[in-house]
Amino acid sequence: MAPITLTHYLALSAALLLIGTIGVLTRRNIVIILMSIELILNAVNINLIAFSHYWHNVNGQIFAIFVITDAVAEAAVGLGILIALFRNKETVLADEVDLLKW
């Protein structure tokens, strides 16, 4: 069994990014979209940690912890917006909300 190299990590990361992006763009339920965003963020995390390991530099890992913190905050805010939106519009579907239109 060949050892796991940097390339494997990067491939995993790229796959997660792709899945997340497609989820954000295609799914209509905002909960799913938020979950997809988590995927994207974690893809980034994997990337950071992989390079950290490869370069022997802990900066990347510290940065990853920041991203996780940030993701938590973002999820909290996003869910808050979602609940407010549902109270007002009785929907959680992104394409039914076009309040940002001119």
Give the footprint of other proteins on this chain (CB under 8 A).
21, 24-26, 28, 33, 94-95, 97-102
Residues 86-97 as b or e (16 or more Cβ within 10 Å = b): eeeeeebeeeee
**Closest CB to other proteins among residues 2, 99:** 99
Sign of the alpha-carbon dihedral angle for 15, 43, 61, 57 = positive
Q: How far is the CB of 40 from other proteins (least distance, A)?
A: 11
Q: What are phi and psi of 29, to 5 degrees?
A: -75, 125
| Least Å from the CB of residue 47 to other proteins | 15
Based on CB atoms, which residue is closest to other proteins, 90 or 98? 98
The nearer residue to other proteins, 33 or 50, going by C-beta atoms, is 33
